[in-house]
């Protein structure tokens, strides 16, 4: 029995390590985009995306109304401007799914300005692997100021 468990561990451990490595590779351009946001560097964000993709947001207002806005990557990055406030986006528990050269990342996020939550929601990233490198094709997110938790 002990040798069966040992053999199983030898099989499962490498597979789990590969899965974690693949997930880290998928998360790398997203993490770099978040770092670009914090640095207020639109070019750093553009370096992580495919030019033919887009960003889209559904804003949920406290009165229940919603609006939808789609932006090219150039427009999205152009909205990242120098400023004194510290911007930070946190996505603590992303769900990563990979199939060959496509991936999807879904997760709740908090957007902070000077360490205080400005809004929250859910991010959905679509990624494509080209020439061994993951790039963000599209991102869609919800944005709300209520129901964010603590």
What is the tens place of the pLDDT at every residue in 10-44?
A: 555 454 444 578 999 999 999 999 999 999 999 99
The pTM (predicted TM-score) of the whole model is 0.85
Q: What is the pLDDT of residue 16?
A: 47
The CATH fold of domain 2-144:
Nuclear Transport Factor 2; Chain: A, (3.10.450)
The set of residues, in sequence order, having a beta carbon less than 8 Å from that of 39 and lying 6+ positions away, is none
User: Which residue ranges make up each domain of the chain?
Assistant: 2-144
């Amino acid at each position: 029995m002990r040798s069966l468990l040992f053999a199983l561990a030898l099989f499962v451990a490498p597979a789990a390590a590969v899965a974690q490595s693949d997930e880290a590779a998928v998360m790398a351009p997203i993490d770099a985009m978040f770092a670009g946001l914090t640095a207020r560097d639109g070019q750093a964000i553009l370096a992580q995306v495919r030019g033919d993709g887009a960003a889209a947001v559904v804003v949920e207002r406290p009165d229940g109304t919603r609006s939808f806005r789609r932006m090219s990557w150039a427009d999205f990055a152009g909205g990242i401007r120098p400023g004194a406030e510290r911007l930070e986006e946190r996505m603590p528990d992303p769900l990563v799914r990979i199939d060959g050269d496509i991936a999807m990342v879904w997760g709740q996020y908090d957007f902070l300005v000077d360490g205080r939550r400005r809004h929250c929601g859910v991010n959905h990233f679509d990624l494509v692997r080209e020439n061994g490198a993951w790039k963000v094709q599209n991102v869609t997110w919800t944005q709300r100021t209520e129901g964010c938790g603590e």
